[in-house]
Amino acid sequence: GAVVSQHPSRVICKSGTSVKIECRSLDFQATTMFWYRQFPKQSLMLMATSNEGSKATYEQGVEKDKFLINHASLTLSTLTVTSAHPEDSSFYICSAHSAEKLFFGSGTQLSVL
C-alpha cells in the first residue's frame, strides 16, 4: 500500500508556543491530504482537508487561525498548531487517498504543558 510519513511522532511543548507537524506521501502524489484529531478512546475527527496549491477546507468548529495548514507541494502538507494550550493536547493524524483507500501517517502525540 501507499506510504504516508508523519513527523514528529511526539511533541511536548509549553503553553503559548507553536508546533509544526509534517505529513509526506512517500511513493505517490497527493493533491489532497486530511488532518484528523483523536482524543483518548474517541473516534478520529476530521479537522480539515488540505488542498495542494489552495486554501484548506476546515470542518465546522475548527479554528483556521489556530490550526494553520499549508500544502505547498504534491507530497507535503503541514499543520501548525499556533499558541498551543493544554486543551490542544491530542493525537494528530494525517492521511491521504490512494486508489480509493485512505492511508494514514504514524500520528503525532502532542502534549502541551
Partner 1 sequence: GQNIDQPTEMTATEGAIVQINCTYQTSGFNGLFWYQQHAGEAPTFLSYNVLDGLEEKGRFSSFLSRSKGYSYLLLKELQMKDSASYLCAVRDGGSYIPTFGRGTSLIVHP
The DSSP 8-state label assigned to residue 59 in this structure reads P
Largest interatomic CA distance in the chain: 40
User: According to the binding rule CB under 8 A, does residue 41 interact with partner 1?
Assistant: yes
C-alpha distances (whole Å) from 65 to each of 19, 39, 58, 103, 104 are 13, 21, 10, 26, 24
Nine cell digits for residue 33: 491530504
Name the minimum Å distance from CB 107 to partner 1: 4
The one among 11, 37, 81, 105 contacting partner 1 by CB under 8 A = 105
Binding mask 74-93 for partner 1 (x = CB under 8 A): -----------------x-x
Name the minimum Å distance from CB 91 to partner 1: 7
The distance of Cα 40 from the centroid of its chain, to the nearest Å, equals: 17
User: According to the binding rule CB under 8 A, does residue 5 interact with partner 1?
Assistant: no
Binding site for partner 1 (CB under 8 A): 1, 6, 34, 41-46, 49, 91, 93, 97, 100-107, 109
